[in-house]
Amino acid sequence: MASRYKTTKQIKDKNSVRIAGTTIIPPMPLSENDIYIQVVSPERLDLLANKFYGDSNLWWAIAASNGLGKGTFAVPENTKLRIPDIENILSVINNVNISR
């Protein structure tokens, strides 16, 4: 799977511990292959990513596409979500990595 951190600058904090810099990923373009769901009970972004992509690390793509994930993985019930097409996610990641 493509990594959104592949070309992220590594920096060190005051204790010389390596941390990743900020990587800005642009919005996921709409696709006819996007999936739309309505959450019927409370869900988590990482579990949804695992269900739809087989990779819980892609939670951020669902969050970014729906304005969620600011401080929590929780998705309230009755929330309508767009699950972006995996090919679009991989394309956006690759374009970001190439542009660095």
Q: Which of 95, 23, 94, 14 is nearest to 64 (CA)?
A: 23
Residue 8 pLDDT grade (very low, low, confident, very high; cuts 50, 70, 90)? low
Q: What is the pLDDT of residues 32-78, one digit of tens each?
A: 999 999 999 999 999 999 999 999 999 999 999 998 877 889 999 99
Q: What is the pLDDT of residues 70-83, one digit of tens each?
A: 788 999 999 999 99
CA distance 43 to 89: 21
CA distance 15 to 58: 30
CA atoms within 13 A on the CB side of 53: 24
